[in-house]
Chain A
Amino acid sequence: MMAFVLDVLSWVLLTLGGISVLIGGIGALRMPDLFTRMHAASVTDSLGAILVLTGIMLQAGLSLATIKLAAILLFLLLTSPTASNALASAAMLAGNKPGIDTASDGGGAT
């Protein structure tokens, strides 16, 4: 019974994680400018990674694999926001200022 509940929970988490990754991907393609795209892509990095990795951890049970997955999750949570920060400041330095551009409707083209 316990195993069944854990299995269902893990698949729910994996599905939600997959959906967040998909949303992040669509957002990264459809959003109008760099900063909003990064915002969309961060859904993949943060929510998607957490949900998918937690789902796999529940599948793996209490084993060495779970500890490795937890370490991966920890490193992802440290590195991906840092990478986003570095990317955003690099974009700012390159003169790409965030702002509302009402003229373009986006559509994925830069």
Chain B
Amino acid sequence: MTIIFGIFLLTLLLITAVAIVQTKNLFVAVMLMGIASLLIAANFFLLDAADVALTEAAVGAGVSTVLFLGALALTSEHERAPTSRAVLSFVVVTAAALIVIYATFDKPRFGAPDAPTQTHVAPWYLEKTPEYIDIPNVVTAVLGSFRGYDTLGEVFVVFTAGIGVLFVLAGGSGGRRAARSAANVGLSQHLIPRVVGRLLIPFIVLFGLYVQFHGEYGPGGGFQAGAIIAAAVILFALLEGEGKALNVIPRSVLLGLVAGGAILYGAVGVAGMLLGGNFLDYSVLADDPVKGQQLGIILIEAGVGSTVTGVLLSIFHAFAARDR
């Protein structure tokens, strides 16, 4: 049954992907990309990867669609006619596709018990998580503790991406405040979206906090929570106008969130070193190593959530504040 659903969803995904390439209207392409993200999220969920599915749904289908729309507002809705390199790109894409298809022949069968995924480090993680960290969600344990270096790297990638976007978008243009009057109105003329939106925003934030702090016990964590909370604030900005959202969370606070989250993550690692352990070894943070691990994971997840929220909101405001 899972296989049938999976093939169905992947077929839809293929159709959506072809439609994205085909369409010349960028607005349609953005909407289709949201649908593609939702389809792949459903597929992740079918494969029992609830954490990844949540991330994909929150970031791919939710926030990135809004960011794409924000970018689209700065440019034209229609794709420029392609230049004459069509043959070359077709050859490159076909060659790459053939290589990827050829590579799949070497992959183990779907769900094969002797696949490297099942035999390499995964059994060790599953076996040792209750002993070392004692939290039910092994994904969070792997992400936060066993592979803490990778997650630190991811946070710095998000951080760098945010700083990069801010540099590109905020630099250069002199009249950044000119378009603010239009953006400030938001949807305040439209009563129904406004009332329902205002009703929902507290619950979205609450759900974001739940995802953030329940990450040790269920699917969730800093990345998903950051995207959800950012989505709530973006919804507020769309309803009430971008200026009011900046009054609630000013740019300085956003930059503080972006940098503070990354610094918090690094500081937890350094604290481990100062207390006599290795970098990012949380066991020394408390008297009981297990409690120390749990404390460390909660702290670094808070750092991740803060950086992701800050970066997504900064990018949104950078788009919204641009001259048209």
Contacts and interface: CB of A to CB of B under 8 A. Distances in A.
B200 A78 contact: yes
A82 B196 CA distance: 7
Interface residues of A, number: 7
A78 B199 contact: yes
A85 B193 contact: yes
B190 A79 contact: no
A89 B190 CA distance: 9
- Size category, B interface: under 10
Interface string A74-110: 0100110010011001000000000000000000000
Interface string B179-203: 0000000000010110011011001
Contacts of B190: 85-86, 89
Nearest to B193: A86
Dominant SS at the B interface? helix
A33 B200 CA distance: 31
B218 to A, nearest CB: 12
A79 B193 CA distance: 9
Contacts of A86: 190, 192-193
A52 B212 CA distance: 30
A75 B193 contact: no
Contacts of A79: 196, 200
B200 to A, nearest CB: 7
Interface string B193-232: 1001101100100000000000000000000000000000
Nearest to A85: B192
Interface string A44-84: 00000000000000000000000000000001001100100
Residue of A78, A82, A85, A89 with highest tally of chain B CB at under 10 A: A82
Contacts of A78: 196, 199-200
A8 B237 CA distance: 47
A82 B203 CA distance: 16
Given A82-B192, A86-B193, 7 more contacts: A75-B200, A78-B196, A78-B199, A78-B200, A79-B196, A79-B200, A82-B197
18 contacts: A75-B200, A75-B203, A78-B196, A78-B199, A78-B200, A79-B196, A79-B200, A82-B192, A82-B193, A82-B196, A82-B197, A85-B190, A85-B192, A85-B193, A86-B190, A86-B192, A86-B193, A89-B190
Closest 10 CB pairs of A and B: A82-B196, A85-B192, A86-B193, A82-B193, A78-B196, A82-B192, A89-B190, A85-B193, A78-B200, A79-B196
